[in-house]
A and B are shown apart, each in its own frame.
Chain A
Amino acid sequence: QKEVEQDPGPLSVPEGAIVSLNCTYSNSAFQYFMWYRQYSRKGPELLMYTYSSGNKEDGRFTAQVDKSSKYISLFIRDSQPSDSATYLCAMTWAGKSTFGDGTTLTVKP
C-alpha cells in the first residue's frame, strides 16, 4: 500500500465550477502537507502548504487537513481555464517529501 494515495482523475469541469482534489495518507509522522501545481512540460511549483489540521485559504484556493482521518483536500473556487494543470499532493517528514500520483484538471471555457 502506498503511503500517499491521490484521487486519480482526470477531472474536467466547466469554468466557474468548484473543484475538490483529495489525498489520503497512512504515515502519522507526516508534518507538512502541500499541494503542488504542475503545468504541462514544467516542474512542479508549490501552491499551498499547511502544518496542522484545519483550513487554510489563499484567494480562490483552500487547503484542508484532517489529521484524525489522515485526509487532505484542495478546493478551487470559481475555477479558471488557467487552473488547468496536474495537482500533486505531497507530505513531508524528516526533510523528505512523498508525493501522490497527481490529478489532472481541465477547466473548459
Chain B
Amino acid sequence: NAGVTQTPKFQVLKTGQSMTLQCAQDMNHNSMYWYRQDPGMGLRLIYYSASEGTTDKGEVPNGYNVSRLNKREFSLRLESAAPSQTSVYFCASSDVGGIQSYEQYFGPGTRLTVT
C-alpha cells in the first residue's frame, strides 16, 4: 500500500498563476482533507470531503477550490496564486466519515512557493 500520495512534491509559482495539487489514497477511505501548514501555526483545514460527491469548506477556504474526483482522489486548485498561499500543503484521509472517525493518514506534503 502506498497510503496517501501527493503530487507534486515542490512547486514554485508566480503571482496570478494557477495550479492543481493532486492527492490519492489507496486505503478505501471515505473522508479526505486538505490542510496547509505555516511555520508556528499548526495545520489549518482548507476543505474536506466526508464522502465521494461531497465537499465542504474548512477554516481557510478562500482562494482555493477542490474536486473529489472519485473515492480515491481529491484535488486542490489555486486559481490565481498569491504570495500568502506560500505554504506546505498536506492531504489526509480517514477511514470513517462522521462522528466516529479520528485517525487521519497524511501524505508527504507539497511545498509551494508563490513569488
B-chain residues with CB within 8 Å of residue A93 when the two chains form the complex: 99
Report which residue of A6, A32, A34, A101 has the largest number of chain B beta carbons within 10 angstroms of its beta carbon.
A101
Task: Give the total number of A-B pairs whose CB atoms are below 8 A apart.
Answer: 60
Determine if B42 and A43 form an interchain contact, defined as CB atoms under 8 angstroms apart.
no
Contacts of A31 in B (CB 8 A): 99, 102
CB proximity of B112 to chain A, nearest CB, Å: 14
Whole-angstrom distance between the Cβ of A26 and the nearest chain B Cβ: 15
- In the docked arrangement, what's the CA distance between A88 and B92, Å? 15
**Complex Cα spacing A49 to B109, Å:** 23
Chain B CB within 10 Å, residue with most, of A32, A44, A45: A44
Are the C-beta atoms of B102 and A32 separated by less than 8 Å? yes
Closest A residue to B98 by CB, please name it. A95
Band of interface residues on A: 20 to 34
Tell me if B103 and A96 are in contact (CB < 8 A). Answer: no
B108 on interface, CB distance cutoff 8 Å: yes
17 more A-B residue pairs beyond the given contacts A43-B90, A49-B103, A95-B31, with a C-beta to C-beta distance below 8 A? A8-B40, A31-B102, A34-B102, A43-B4, A43-B92, A43-B109, A44-B90, A46-B104, A49-B102, A88-B43, A90-B43, A92-B101, A92-B102, A95-B50, A96-B48, A96-B58, A98-B45
